[in-house]
Amino acid sequence: MPTISGGISVALQAVLTQSQVMEITQHNVANASTPGYRRQSAILTSTAPASFNGAEYGMSAGQKGGGVSVDRIQRFNLEFFDGRYRSVSAETSNWESQSSILSQLEPTLAETTADGLLPKLDQFFSSWQALSDDPTNVSQRAIVLDDASSLANAFTRRTSQISQMRGDQNLSVISQVDQINSLADQVAQLNGQISHVLSVGQQPNDLMDKRDLALDQLSQLTGSVSFNQKNGEVMVSIGGNVLVVGHETIKLHTQDNDTDSSVVDVYIGDNVKLSPPSGTLKGTLEVRDQILVDQQNGLNTLAAGLITQVNALHKPGFGLNNATNLDFFSGTDALTIAVNPLLNANSIATSSGTGLPGNNDVALAISALKTTKGMSTGTATLNEFYGIQISDLALKTKRAADNSYQYGLVEKALSDQRESVAGVSLDEEAATMAKTQKAYQAAARVLTAYDEMLDTVINRMGLVGR
């Protein structure tokens, strides 16, 4: 026959189950703002029903229920969203990295101000033009020297600052490699823990959250991709190079560049040079090794062109003191360019012949270099050559900013989609909490009823006639 103990068991199981549901809800609420946390939910199921046997047989039309239990704790996650989000996030990080560095380069060059190299080039040629109008004017000669010195300093300052920026980004690359190795170790360690928990039939939801967060960060840094394995582990690769497999990691390391020891290259494993497909590391390397190098090379080419062209005209000329065979500029590139220390105002060559102080042939020829197409195999003037370089930099800077913005919008949309599926909604949790509380109270009330029934059986039955 039906027993009071069976009813108590069902009610007690209900109380314990609803208590566990409340704990899971509380866990969700507590982690509503935790980065990488995925919402969890208790999946309830009725326990296996029992048939009426023996003395109980025939007392019911069917089987009697055994109550409720937690079948599993579900983790809300969509791997498809994860893959898409990480891919877009890596591209966003790539362009954000480039945009951030290039936005620092623009103030360094200062081409939109009076301190720009183009204005200083114009001023240099203008001072030579003024000197050609009055070649014996010592004050104007001093102005030529001063403007030339200012121009040379502008070259030196810019190339030095670009070198400093490359050094800063080189340190950033080394730091990013350390972060990548740390995250890879974390994923490998979590792989071991997750596979162990799964092997004993449990669900390691919180461990999987931590691993997914680490995978998100790895993707942002390197554009890495991950592949789920049957035992619950993930394999991670960067551009086809395995980074994490099982519990093991293939470490990244840096070593000096073969041709430029001031920067390092990134290698994975023994001797495989790493070229990340996207991510912050790619953006940093691309700016450091391409854009900044192009800017330095352009400055060096411009400085060399200026030195060569001016010296070629100045050296055979004659100064007020008949000094000749003197270069106007010393040095060979943007770092070493300087006004020849042997020059003074009187020895600046303006005349094409000795003993002709009023002759301005050399001064006119040098001022005419402003419009002479002596760069890019005779297709551009000095100003045009540098103007093209600055325009190209401006386009790259704008492209990086635009791509960063556009990919950022897509990343946010995908993040919102992930959040709508896996994120914690406090309103939903409050509703679940209220429903669970009512179920808990009802189950507890059933236990109270059975307690009263037991009191009747134990303390009141068999008292008739006493």
Residue 15 near residue 68 (C-beta atoms within 8 A)? no
Domain range annotation of the chain: 4-76+424-460, 84-412
CB atoms within 10 A of CB 24: 20
CA dihedral 223, 229, 233, 236 (to 10 degrees): -20
CB atoms within 10 A of CB 121: 22
- Give the Cα-Cα-Cα angle 197, 201, 203 (nearest 5 degrees): 60
DSSP assignment string, 55-85: GGTTSSSSPBP--EEEEEEEE---HHHHHHH
Count the alpha carbons within 13 Å of 263 in the hemisphere toward its beta carbon. Answer: 23
Amino acid code (one letter) for 62: G
Residue 291 near residue 285 (C-beta atoms within 8 A)? no
Residue 206 near residue 153 (C-beta atoms within 8 A)? no
Query: b/e per residue, 288-307, with b = 16+ CB within 10 A?
Result: bbebbeebbebbbbbbbbbb
Q: For residue 290, what are its two tokens?
A: 């391409």
CB atoms within 10 A of CB 346: 14
* Tens-binned pLDDT, residue by residue, of the chain (466 aa): 456 777 788 888 889 999 999 999 999 999 999 999 999 999 888 887 766 565 555 555 666 777 888 888 989 887 778 899 999 999 999 999 999 999 988 888 877 777 889 999 999 999 999 999 999 999 999 999 999 999 999 999 999 999 999 999 999 999 999 999 999 999 999 999 999 999 998 899 999 999 999 999 999 999 999 999 999 999 999 999 999 999 999 999 999 998 888 899 999 988 899 999 999 999 999 999 999 999 999 999 999 999 999 999 999 999 999 999 999 999 999 999 999 999 999 999 999 989 888 899 999 999 999 999 999 999 999 999 999 999 999 999 999 999 999 999 999 999 988 888 888 999 999 999 999 999 989 988 988 888 888 878 888 776 665 5
Determine the distance from the C-alpha atom of residue 336 to the mean position of all C-alpha atoms in its chain, rounded to a whole number. Answer: 36
DSSP assignment string, 377-423: TTTB-HHHHHHHHHHHHHHHHHHHHHHHHHHHHHHHHHHHHHHHHHS
Evaluate if pTM is beyond 0.85. Answer: yes
